[in-house]
Chain A
Amino acid sequence: MDIWQHLLGGFGIALTPMNLFYAFIGVLIGTMVGVLPGIGPMSGVALLIPVTYNLNTASAIILMAGVYYGAMYGGSTTSILLNTPGESSSVVTALDGYEMAKRGRAGSALSIAAIGSFVAGTFSVLMLNLLGPSLAKVAIRFGPPEYFSLMLFGLTAVAGFAGKSRNKAFLSLFIGMLISMIGTDLVSGSERFTFGISNLSDGIDFIIVSIGVFALGEVFTTIVEMNKGKQTRFRIEGKIWPSREELRRSVGPIARGSVLGFFIGVLPGAGATIASFIAYDLEKRISKFRHLFGKGAIEGVAAPESANNGAAGGAMVPLLTLGVPGSGTTAILLGALMIHGITPGPLLFEKNPDVAWGLIASMYIGNLMLLVLNLPLVGLFAKIIDIPQVYLLPMIIIISTLGIYGVSGNIFGLWLLLFFGIIGYFMKRYDYPGAPMILGLVLAPLMEQSLRQALIMSNGAYTIFVVRPISLVLLLLAAAAIVVPLLLRKKNGKFDQVEKDMEL
């Protein structure tokens, strides 16, 4: 078949010692970028552009793409070990990953994250390879009405992130949505809730909120507890590597996370973060071990980590086949291609087959490299948990502030970080879950924007959301996600039982 010949040609390019070297450097930098909070794949790739000026185009794109999907691997590390999400798509991983670490299963969580990332990464390249062009044609049919319905469906995931109290989860969600309203409104072009402060006119970056609420919130809580004389020190329990049981339980979540992540990633603009939230919620709904979610369930690590890697591969589909960026990072890759004199567009495969196929082939290789690179590191990273907290806590503060300042070059971001750290402390103290807030913060801007875009398109008629079939299906799914669990519980008379489970 034709594509296999092209792919073979691609491997010919990707397997040259030089390109292998760049793929390796790329995934290595990507892993580091992912580990450092604040510096996400987007800034990682952008900072590398000047370095690629002197490289040939195929090497340049192989290097930069390596950073992109490498960051998806690295992001889980600090989420699991330090409750500090390395980038936005690893926020969800912190929920169960950090709980596992506290219970001495950090090594297992890290390994599963690496394996899940590898499976999802490879799966998505394969899909990109096989179905790319036809999928892209479907993906662009997704317009504002469909995105609105998808985001609404995404919001129903909040149920999966409620702790003891559903009301507190909703409150947290709405606060997140409100924070997202700060800044310049796309549809009217005017500023909202900025009080004339220029620093607020781009809104509040949600990585600041998530690092503040999760990482600093945790640090402050621990400091207060230490002052009360409570010394907690985590220990590695048992073997570092995942047990047979943990591996078995991860198979389903990894498979579902990969597929879900890939398809959400293909939709331009939806992204890895949303994929990770939806994957986690899905697992919590269908898992036999749902009562363990939030208390260190391996499924809660496997699913989102697979989903975000699947999405990174999926985002390559519209980029390579249509020449339109599917995410912020792919938009930067597109800009980099232009610097190298390539016009991204539907003809990329025809006009620059060496670049397109070389990239695809290198993604197979890069994913393998990442697995080989990350698994041995697990043993090393897992030991971080053994560091006494008096040393660990300042380290978390340092890497958090460095990450935030490094990207924006702006002191204001650090004040915000501190502010959200304090908020995070009180949220933890009074048992408000942090994840719904991040969910609201991620979904609300897209949701609001697509709602208003859709209404402009329809001259104000709300029927646009139900006459378009894809949108209708998504709305029905959202309704089902809310109604079905309630009906099931009532019918089975298990309502009280489930509620009790949740209070455990």
Chain B
Amino acid sequence: MKKKSGLIALIGLMLILLVTACGQQPTKQTQANEGADYPNKPVKIVAPSGTGGGWDTTARLMSKVMGETKLIKVGLPVENIEGGSGKVFLEGFLKNNVGDPYTIFVNSPPILINTAQGFKYSYKDVTPIAGIISEYDSFVVPANSKYKTLKEVMDALKQNPASVKIGGGSAPGGMDHLAFMAAAKKAGIEITKINYVPFQGGGQVMTALLGNNIDLASTGISEVQGQMQAGTVRMLAVTSAQRIEGLDVPTVKEAGYDATFDIWRGFFGAKDMPAYAKKYWEDNLAKMVKTPEWQQVVKNQKWTSSYRNSEEFTKFLGEQTQVISNLMKELGLTK
């Protein structure tokens, strides 16, 4: 049986590819009841990165659950257009897909960070459809570390900002870096003097932490779970506003520093996408996040469900822009 379903999936994939090849051009409908039959062909879901990362995973799992639960009957092929944390895709998209209801894309804080770093487009040039999940960063030390609480780390950093080596899976200005600096800033530490060692992604950070090459890692919770279960590391705090279910770890706020860092992910469409298409996606995403299939996905990925409809999502993006650009200004990372 398993063999068959694998084959069927493969055939399905081929068919989807065939079908998308036939329907690349966005068609403009001008009838009075426009959108009544939307979508009447596959909708392309773009992950503006390579395969395998967070955007790609979110896009593919969304497409999978929409199909499994039969919420959306047309195919939802995922396409990877990588480059410059989404900048390459966005430049092409804004030029070629004006008002296109048949392409939506996934994004996360980089769409705000890029803008803060001087990229000419922002979330205001596209339509935020809905935010669906969040991941949070965690601050982790080796099991044999002398630091037992986040406060001990912050106190040490207050004494001497270079005394604790902080590692993260991103360049300065990236999410792991900002997550820790947001907390350190609230602790009153001179954040520009902190020794931050950047690594390429969460896997490398964990390796450096396990090898005692850094003292504390700032990295996504999902990267750390396996190590926690094995007792090789200790998680001092998480960057969410409330405690994470099933995780006996205080939030940064509880530790006494009024900071959160939300690595949200959501979907966006073209700026002038038709209202019916926006509503269609907003409604269906709202339905999808309530399905047991999606909740299982969220559980497996150690994500947190954080649905925000278009209006809430847009407002949230405005607030986050403020938070991120303030932080980056202080760190001397903005242009």
Contacts and interface: CB of A to CB of B under 8 A. Distances in A.
A64 B74 CA distance: 28
A199 B197 CA distance: 26
Contact of B230 (A52, A186, A202, A347): A347
A409 B79 contact: yes
Interface in A316-347: 318, 322-325, 331-332, 334-335, 338-341, 343-347
B41 to A, nearest CB: 20
A21 B3 contact: yes
B171 A184 contact: yes
* Chain A CB within 10 Å, residue with most, of B52, B85, B88, B195: B52
A187 B226 contact: no
Contacts of A55: 2, 5-6
B48 to A, nearest CB: 10
A49 B211 CA distance: 31
Contact of A324 (B2, B87, B173, B207): B207
A338 B301 contact: yes
B263 interface: no
B206 interface: yes
Interface string A385-418: 0000000000000000000000011101000000
Nearest to B208: A143
A50 interface: yes
Contact of A189 (B174, B212, B214): B174
B262 interface: no
B203 interface: yes
B13 interface: yes
A51 B13 contact: yes
Nearest to B113: A189
Nearest to A194: B84
A458 to B, nearest CB: 10
A502 interface: no
A230 interface: no
B203 A50 contact: no
A189 B210 contact: no
A451 B227 CA distance: 27
Contacts, number: 172
Interface in B1-44: 2-3, 5-6, 9-10, 13
Contact of B301 (A59, A322, A339, A345): A339
B2 A54 contact: yes
Interface string B167-201: 00001111001000000000000000001111111
B197 A457 contact: yes
B113 to A, nearest CB: 9
Given A345-B229, A459-B162, A331 B198 contact: no
A343 B87 CA distance: 32
A46 interface: yes
Interface string B95-134: 0000000000000000000000101000000000000000
Nearest to A136: B210
B14 to A, nearest CB: 11
A339 B226 contact: no
A64 to B, nearest CB: 11
A47 B119 CA distance: 30
Interface in B70-88: 78-85, 87-88
Given A199-B84, A199-B88, A202-B84, A343 B226 contact: yes
User: Nearest 8 A-B pairs (CB), nearest first?
Assistant: A345-B226, A46-B51, A143-B213, A189-B171, A201-B84, A346-B230, A140-B211, A198-B87
22 contacts: A18-B2, A42-B51, A42-B52, A49-B51, A50-B60, A51-B13, A140-B207, A187-B198, A189-B173, A189-B333, A198-B83, A201-B83, A202-B83, A322-B210, A341-B300, A346-B230, A409-B79, A409-B80, A409-B81, A410-B81, A410-B83, A457-B197
Given A45-B52, A201-B84, A201-B88, 20 more contacts: A42-B51, A55-B6, A141-B211, A186-B198, A188-B171, A198-B88, A201-B87, A202-B82, A269-B207, A318-B207, A323-B227, A331-B203, A332-B52, A339-B300, A341-B300, A343-B225, A345-B227, A408-B82, A457-B165, A457-B195
